[in-house]
Structure 1
Amino acid sequence: MIGNLRQIALTTTAIGFFLAPPAQAQVEAASDVSGAEETDAIVVTARRMEENLQDVPISITVFSQQQIDNRNIVNAADLAIYTPSLSLNSRFGPEKASFIIRGFVQDLATQPSVGVYFADVVAPRAGGSTTSGNGVGVGSMFDLQNVQVLKGPQGTLFGRNTTGGAVLLVPRRPTDKLEGYVEGSYGNYDMRRLQAVANIPLADTFKVRLGVDRMKRDGYLRNRSGTGPDRLGDSDYIAARLSILAELTPDLENYTVATYSKSDNNGITLRVLGCNREPAANIAANARLACAQVDRQNARGDGWWDIESNERDPKFQAETWQIINTTTLRASDTLTIKNIASYGEFREITRMSLQGDNLVNPDGTFAKALVQLNNTPGYYNSRQATYTEELQLQGRGFDGKLNWQAGGYFENSDPLGVSSQATGIGLNCPNLQDLQCNAAPPLNLPAAGRVFVSTVSRPFLKASFRSRGLYAQATYRLSDLLAVTGGVRYTWERMRHDYASQTIGFPATNTPVYYCGNSVRVRYPVGTSSPVNPGFNFPVATAPLGYEACNVTFTAKSDRPTWLIGVDFTPTEDLLFYAKYARGYRGGGAAGANIYFETWGPEKVDTYEAGAKVTLRGSSARGYFNTAVFYNDFSDQQIAASLIRAATSPLLGGNAIINAGKSKIWGIEADAAVTLFDIFRVDGGYTYLNARLKELDPSTYALAPEQRLVWADVRPTASPSIRGGRLAFSPKHRLSLTGTILLPVDESIGDVSLGATYVYTSKQLAGTATAPQYQLLPSSQLVNLNVNWNKVMNSPVDLALFMTNATNEKFHSAIANAWASYGFEAGIVNEPRMYGVRLRYSLR
C-alpha cells in the first residue's frame, strides 16, 4: 500500500509540472465543476489581507463551501479527516477534540497548538481541565467563503502564538444583492438539518446577512448496558449568525459579526477493545470485571458500534457566543488602519464514562465505575469569557515595492465565576450528582494513616489568561523576480489557575467526609503531623468545605520573541518558489490538580520550509499544484505524563504536563486541483510526516525525596519514551483524492455532477501507557460519494445526495491508555456510514 502511495504522489507531481505551461488566460483555479460559484481566483487571508492563493508563500489547504457540503463536514472532527497534515486529538469525544498540525499536539489543559480563527478573531478560550473549546464548534461550517488550514507557526501576524499552525474560517460578508437560500437535509439515523440564509441590502451603504443552522440526528452508538439512554453519539445543535456591513464613508467601513451556537446531546463513550487475562495483583480485580465485559460483548455478538455505558445521565452541552467588530479606515492610498475587537463566552457541561467500562459483579449487580466525568451540580465544567483587541496598520511604499503590516494584540480571558468538575473514581454511585454512593472503606497505609482511595473529586477552579503582543512584518520586492520578507513579534503571556480541590470519601456509615485533596502541598505541607492522617495533613469534615478552605493559586508566566525570514522567487507569472525560516512558540500553563506538577513552561519550534506553487492556465487544463518540504526542530516540548502513586500516598494518581522533549519533525506536503476540459476536476492532497522524538530529558523524571512520598514514577502517556520513537497522532502518510465529473446534459436540465473522495491515513501512535497491540491506531481508508443536481430543470432548486464512509470502514481514533492502571483498553470508534439528501431553494 505504501509503495502505491509513493507512486501516486510521484505521478501527481509529474502531471502537475507537465501541465504547467505559462499562458495569459486569467486564473480559474477556484471554479467548481459541480455547478457551485466560480471566481477568478482562490482568495485567502493567510497574511491578514486578501491575496491569491498562488501568491502566498505558505503551505495552505483551502476548502470552498461547496467542498465542505460535498464532504458533509459539520465539525472539527470532520474537517481533520480530509486535510493532509491536520489530525485530531479526540480523546474526550469529537466535539471536545483539538487540532494537530504536523505533529504538534494539544494535551489536557495546555494552550492550543493550533489557533482557530473566525472572521479574523481567535476562538473563545474554554478554561477547563480537559481539551475543549478553543476551536471549531458545530454550526460553524455553513455560509462560509472558505476554510483555510495554514501549516507551520504563524507567530508574527496572528493574534495568539501557536507552534502548529492556524485554521481560518472566513464567513460570507453581506453583499449588495437581495439573495439567500433555504436548505433541508434528511438522512439515516433520522438526521434532520435545516439551514437558511438571507442577505438584505437595506441601503447602498448598509447591508445585513442572517443565517441559521439547525440539526438533529439519533446516536450511532448503541448502548447495551441498560443504564442511561439507548443511543449515544447523537447530534442536536442550533447555530445562528448575524453580519452587518456599514460603509460609513467611501474610506471608512464597519463590519460586525455576531454568532451563537448551542449543542446539547448524549455525548459519547468508549468501546472496550480487550482486557488483560493475566493481570498484576494490583489491577487484578478491575481486570477480571473488564474481561467479563469483553466476554459479554462477544457472547452477544456485539458490533463495532455497540458499547456499554455506566453513566445514568450522559450529557455534552456546549454554548458559545461571540461578537466581532472590525473597523477599517483607508487613511490614504498607501495606509490602511484596521481595528478588530471581540467579546465571546463559552460554557460547557460534560457527563461521561471516561474509560468505557461497565463493571458488573458475577451476580449481575453493578460493581463500580472506574472514572466518571461529571459537572458538580449548579456548576459548569467550564465557563469562560474572552475579550480581544487588535490594532493593525497596513501600508505600501517605494512605488509598491514595499508591503508592510504592524500592530498590537491584547487578549484577556477570565472565568465567569467558579467552574467545577466532579469525577467519581472507583465508586458505585446510583446518583453521582447527589453524592448517592455506596460505601468505599478507607485503606490503612503505614505512612498516611486511613485514606480513601475510591472518592469523588470536586475541584473548584478559575483560570485567567493574559496575552499581549507587538508585531511587524514587511515584504520588499527587490526586482520583478525576487522578494524578501521579514517579521518579528514579541509576546507576553500569563496564566493564573485558582484551584480548590475538595475530595469526598464514603465510609461504611454512608456519611460522606470531605477534605482538601491535591492542594495539600501548599496549604498543608507534606511532612506535617495530623492525628487523622500522620504524614499528610488532611483535615476531615462532615460537611462540604468552602472554596477558600482548599484554594491554592498557581501562575505561569512567559515572554518570547518569534520571527520569520523568507525569500520568494517568481521566474514567471505562474511559478513561485519560496523558502523561509520561522520561530514559533506556545505559552506555558498551570493546573492545580497534581502536586509538584502544577505548572509547565513554554515550548518553541524552529521551522525551515521551502516550497513551489504552480498555476495551470491551459485552455484544456487549469488549476494549481503546490508542494512544500519542511523541517521542525522542537524544544521544551509539552508532554502529557501519567503520575504513578507511591505505595504510601493518599492520592490515586493523575495526569500532568511536563516540558521534557526535543523532537524533529520533517515531511513533504502537496496540494493540487486540476479542471480538465471544463467537465472533470481532480482535487488532491498528500502529506508524508516523519515526527520522532529526538531527546527526552531524564532529569524531568528525577523525583526529589519529598516528591516520592506522593509519586513513585512519572511516565509519558501519549509520547514515546525512547529516542527515535514516533510522536502521537502523527500519521506518516495521509492522502486525499476527490474526483468530480460534470455530466454532459442539456442546459435546460441543469448541472449534474458526480463526485467521490478517497482518504487514506496510515497508522499512528495513540499512546505508550498501554499494551503494545493498542499503542497504534490502525490505518483507515474512507470513501465518500456525492451527486449534485444544481438548477434542477433550470429552476432555483438544487438537489444533492451524499454518503460518507461508504464502505462502513471500522477503526478507533483514540484510546484510553487504561491498560496499566485498570487491566483493559478502550477506544473511541469512528462514525459509521452516513447518507442523506439535501434540497435547496435559492433566491438569486
Structure 2
Amino acid sequence: MPKGSILKVELLASAALATIVSTPAFAQATNDDIVVTARRVEERLQDVPISITVLSSQQIANRNIVNAGDIGTYVPSLTSNSRFGPENTSFAIRGFTQEAQTAPSVAVYFADVSALRSQGGTQSGNGAGPGSLFDLQNIQVLKGPQGTLFGRNTTGGAILLVPQKPTSELEGYVEGSVGNYALRRLQAVINVPLADTARLRLGMDRQTRDGFLENTSGIGPKDFNNVDYIALRASLVLDLTPDLENYTIASYSKSDTNGYIPKIATCNTAPTGFSTGILAPRACAQLDRTPGFYQIENGNPLAMQKIEQWQAINTTTWLASDTFTVKNIASYGEFRTRNNTNLFGDNFTFAGAPFTYVGVYADKDSYNAAQYTFSEEVQLQGRSANDALIWQAGFFYENSDTLGIQSTLSPILLACTDIYAFQCSDPVGASIGRATGNIQNSQSAYKFESLGLYAQATYKLTDQFSVTGGIRYSKDRVEGLGQVRRILFPTPNVPVFVCANNPTISAVDASACAVTTVQKSSKPTWLIDIDYKPVDDVLLYAKYARGYRQGGVNASNVGLGSTWQPEKVDTYELGAKASFSGAVRGYFNIAAFYNDFSNQILQANGVPTPGNSPATALINAGKSRIRGVEVEASLTPVQGLTFDVGYAYLDTKLQSFNPPAFDPTRFTALIPTATVGGPLTLSPKNRVTVTGTYTLPIDSSIGKISFGATFTHTDSQIAAAPAATPIGVLPATDLLNLNLNWNSVAGGPLDFALFATNVTNEKYLAIVGGSYNSAGFESVGPGQPRMYGGRVRVRF
C-alpha cells in the first residue's frame, strides 16, 4: 500500500475511535437483541472484541440467501469461491484463501460442529452443503484467526450457522416459493412441546430450479448450475434434570444436479506450444459457437453432480453450579459425492471423434469423495461469583477416514466413446508417433486426526478494563493412500495400465502403485486482548493473535509434490464498537488489522512440456502482508427507516515466492496464483454493502409492510495469476437486490414476500480457470443473472 493510503487507513481508524469516545449520545444500547456465540458462549454482539457480521433469519429471507455462495454477497470482507459450483463453495476472508485440497482457511460450523471433512479430485465438502441454510436463527461471520476456542484452526475466520432450537410453543410454518428459471421451493417446520421437559422441532426444505447456463452442444443436460435438493432436520431437547439438558440434531441432505461447468471466454489466436497448438484452435471455434454470455458447450455425455450427507450432533450441558458449566459436544456424519464434468468446459473433436482436454468421472461403483467425520469436544466454563473472572478450558478431538477407496477417472487429451469400458484412442499421439493422452485413474483414501487442548480467560481489572488471554495446542495428522495409474492407448480401445509414479510397473491392479504419505504438524496458537469501556455502550479493544492452518497431503499428485506444511499468521487488530439511541438509533463498529502471513500455502500451475499433462501443486512458498479496515454500521434516522452498511478495505501483497525444484523435462514453468509484489487472489481492495429498509407507518391490523434494497459494490480482484491468463482479473461489480415483505397480512398468520437479485441483470464473472498458458484458452464462470420470485408463508 502506498504511504498515502496507509495514512488514510490510520486516520480513518483514529478519527472513528476518537469520535466514538467523545460523542455523548452513546448512552443506551439499541441492539441488545443481537446475540452471538463467537466465544462459545452467548454474548451481546457489542460486547465481543471480534469483528463480526451477523445475518438474522429475516435478513437471510429478505436477501434470498439459499446457498453458501450467496453469503459472500452481503459480507464485505467475505469472498465466495464457487469454482466447482455453489454446492462446493469455499470462502476467503481478509485475503486468506482455501486453495484446492487444503484445509479451509475459513471454517464452517453448524450448531458448534465443524463441517464434515472431504478431499477428492475437485473441491468438495468442508462447507455449507445444500439445504444447510433453512430454519436458521442467524449466520455469524467471524473475521480473523479463530485458533483458540474453535475446533479447527483457521487463519481467515469462521462462519457459524446457528439453527433454530426447539421451543416450548406449539408452532410452525409452511412456506412456498416460485420464481424464474422454474424456481420451486417448499419449506415446512413444526415445533412440538412433547412434555414440560421435552421439545421437538422437525423441518424440511425442498428446492428445484433450472440452470442459467444454456448448453448448446446437444450433449448431456440442457442446462447447468441448476438446483435440485432435499434437506431434512430433526431437533430434540430433553431437560433430563433442571440442571442437565440434552440437545440432539439429526440432519440429512441430498442434491442431484447437472453440475457446473465453466464457459470458454478467450483463446490464443497465435499458439506456439504443443498443447496450445492443438487446443487453442478448437477453443476459438467453440467460442465462436457460443456468443451468448450464458451459453456454454458441454462435451461430457454423463455430466452430473450428486452430493449426499448426513450428520448427528449431540450437545449435553450440565449446570454444575451457578458458576460452573460442563458441556459435551459429540458428532458423527458422512459425506459422499459423485461428479462427472469437463473441468475447463471444452467440447472438442479431433479427427471427428470427441476429444477431452481434462475430464473428471466418478469411477463405477465408487465416489470422487466419500468420508466420515467423528468429533468430540468437552468444554468447561466457569466464572467467579462477581463475574470478575470468566474462563473456559477443554479439549477437541476429530477423526475422519475415507469410506472405502475413492476413485476418479480423468481422461486427458483423449477421444473416448465409453470411458468405463476404456473405449478410447489417442489421436494426437497417433498423428505424431508417440503417446500424448491418457486416463489418469486416481484412487485414494485419506485419514485425518486432530487434537486440541485450550484455555482462555477474561479478567476484569476494573469495571472498565478487561484483559483476555487464551492459548491452544493443536496436533494434526493427515495420511493419504494414493494408487495412481495411467491408462495409455497405443492402439485404439486397447488399454495399457502403468503406474503414474513409475511407468515401468504394470498396473492392471491399481494397488501395485500404492504409496502412503503422512504429514504431521503441531503448533501452539494464542490470543491476547485488552478491552476498555469508557462508557457502557462503547467498547475499545486491542488484540494480538497467532493463527495456524494445518498442512496436508494430496495422495493423487505425482507430478509436483504431494505434501505441504502448515502456515501461520500473526494478527494485530484495533477495534471499536458503539451503540447509540435517542432521536437517531443504531450502532457503529470498526476494526483495523495487520497480518504478517508466513509459510503461506499457494497453488501453482505447472506448464507442461510437449507430450506431458498439466499439473497443479500446493506448496509452502509464500510470505504475504495483509492489512485493512472493516466497518459495520446500522442507522435508524427516522421511525421506520433503517440503513445497514458494511465496508471492507483490503490491501494484500505477496512479498515472496520461492518455488520448489521441479522436473524441467515435464514442466517449463511453475506459475503461482499470485505474483510477487501483487495482491492475493479473491481480495478486492474495496467492497461495500448498503441496505435500506423502510417500514410503512400503518396500523397493525393491516400487517407490517416493508421495502428493502441492497447495493453491493466490489472492486476488481485477482482470480488467477495475471501471468497465466489475459483475463485473470475479475472486473468490478455493482449488484442490486430488492425485496418487499408484507408480514401478518390483515393481522393474520400469513406472510407474503417478493424478491429479486441482480435486478439490473449485470453480466459479471465469478471465477477464472487459469488454463491459458498450458492450454491456449481460458475458461470462466459467469455470475448469476437476474433471479426473482415470490413466497408465501403460513404460520401457526
TM range (shorter): over 0.9
* Offset from partner CA, 1:322-349 (integer Å, 9 cap, x none): 1110111111111100011000110011
* Aligned-residue offset at 1:651: 4.6
Correspondences of 1:81-230 after superposition (within 5 Å): 81-230=73-222
Partners of 1:296 and 1:197 in 2: CA distance: 47
Are the equivalent residues in 1 in contact too, given 2:604–2:619 (CA < 8 A)?
yes
Correspondences of 1:551-570 after superposition (within 5 Å): 551-570=514-533
Q: 1:669 aligns with which of 630, 648, 662?
A: 630
Q: 2:284 aligns with which of 282, 291, 309?
A: 291
Correspondences of 1:370-381 after superposition (within 5 Å): 370-381=357-368
Correspondences of 1:500-519 after superposition (within 5 Å): 500-517=483-500, 519=501
Letter in 1 for 2:307: A
Q: Give the corresponding residue for 1:826.
A: 779
Letter in 2 for 1:258: A
* Aligned-residue offset at 1:309: 1.0
Q: 2:575 aligns with which of 611, 619, 623?
A: 611
Alignment identity in percent? 50
| Inter-CA distance 787–804: structure 2 relative to 1 (3 Å threshold) | same
Q: 2:717 aligns with which of 759, 764, 772?
A: 764
Q: How many residue pairs end up in the alignment?
A: 786
SS in 2 for 1:506: strand
| Inter-CA distance 596–102: structure 2 relative to 1 (3 Å threshold) | same
Q: 1:546 aligns with which of 484, 509, 527?
A: 509
Matched, 1:495 2:456: no
| Inter-CA distance 797–626: structure 2 relative to 1 (3 Å threshold) | same
SS in 2 for 1:572: coil
Are the equivalent residues in 1 in contact too, given 2:587–2:635 (CA < 8 A)?
yes
Partners of 1:653 and 1:354 in 2: CA distance: 12
Partners of 1:296 and 1:602 in 2: CA distance: 45
Partners of 2:223 and 2:431 in 1: CA distance: 42
Correspondences of 1:445-524 after superposition (within 5 Å): 452-517=435-500, 519-520=501-502
Are the equivalent residues in 2 in contact too, given 1:439–1:510 (CA < 8 A)?
no
* Aligned-residue offset at 1:170: 0.6
Letter in 1 for 2:248: T
Are the equivalent residues in 2 in contact too, given 1:770–1:825 (CA < 8 A)?
no
* Offset from partner CA, 1:344-380 (integer Å, 9 cap, x none): 110011111111122246x9x4551211111111110
Q: Give the corresponding residue for 1:36.
A: none
Matched, 1:425 2:417: no
* Aligned-residue offset at 1:515: 1.1
Letter in 2 for 1:464: K
* Aligned-residue offset at 1:712: 4.2
> Any gaps of 5 or more consecutive residues in structure 1?
30-39, 521-536
* Aligned-residue offset at 1:91: 1.9
* Aligned-residue offset at 1:481: 0.9
Partners of 1:675 and 1:103 in 2: CA distance: 32
Are the equivalent residues in 2 in contact too, given 1:643–1:714 (CA < 8 A)?
yes
Q: Give the corresponding residue for 2:671.
A: 715
| Inter-CA distance 641–811: structure 2 relative to 1 (3 Å threshold) | same
Matched, 1:390 2:377: yes
**Two-structure CA RMSD over aligned residues (Å):** 2.2
Q: Please, what TM-score do these two structures have when normalized by structure 1? A: 0.90
Q: Give the corresponding residue for 2:44.
A: 52
* Aligned-residue offset at 1:398: 6.2
Q: Give the corresponding residue for 2:386.
A: 399
> Any gaps of 5 or more consecutive residues in structure 2?
none
Partners of 1:23 and 1:687 in 2: CA distance: 24
Correspondences of 1:529-678 after superposition (within 5 Å): 537-540=503-506, 545-592=508-555, 593-595=557-559, 597-618=561-582, 620-646=583-609, 651-678=612-639
* Offset from partner CA, 1:295-327 (integer Å, 9 cap, x none): 223xxxx32111111111211111111111011
SS in 2 for 1:273: strand
Matched, 1:780 2:769: no
Q: Give the corresponding residue for 1:701.
A: 660
Letter in 2 for 1:828: G
* Aligned-residue offset at 1:219: 1.1
Letter in 1 for 2:383: R
Letter in 2 for 1:484: V
Are the equivalent residues in 1 in contact too, given 2:299–2:342 (CA < 8 A)?
yes
Correspondences of 1:295-310 after superposition (within 5 Å): 295-297=288-290, 302-310=291-299
* Offset from partner CA, 1:711-731 (integer Å, 9 cap, x none): 443221x221x2x21101101
Partners of 1:454 and 1:496 in 2: CA distance: 30
Letter in 2 for 1:114: V
* Offset from partner CA, 1:667-717 (integer Å, 9 cap, x none): 0000112233330111110000001112222xx3344xxx4454443221x
Partners of 1:398 and 1:634 in 2: CA distance: 41
Partners of 2:30 and 2:205 in 1: CA distance: 30
Q: 1:681 aligns with which of 642, 646, 650?
A: 642
Are the equivalent residues in 1 in contact too, given 2:614–2:774 (CA < 8 A)?
no
Q: Please, what TM-score do these two structures have when normalized by structure 2? A: 0.95
| Inter-CA distance 136–495: structure 2 relative to 1 (3 Å threshold) | same
Are the equivalent residues in 2 in contact too, given 1:789–1:800 (CA < 8 A)?
yes
Greater Cα shift, 791-800 or 651-660? 651-660
Are the equivalent residues in 2 in contact too, given 1:769–1:818 (CA < 8 A)?
no
SS in 1 for 2:423: coil
Matched, 1:341 2:294: no
Are the equivalent residues in 2 in contact too, given 1:20–1:615 (CA < 8 A)?
no
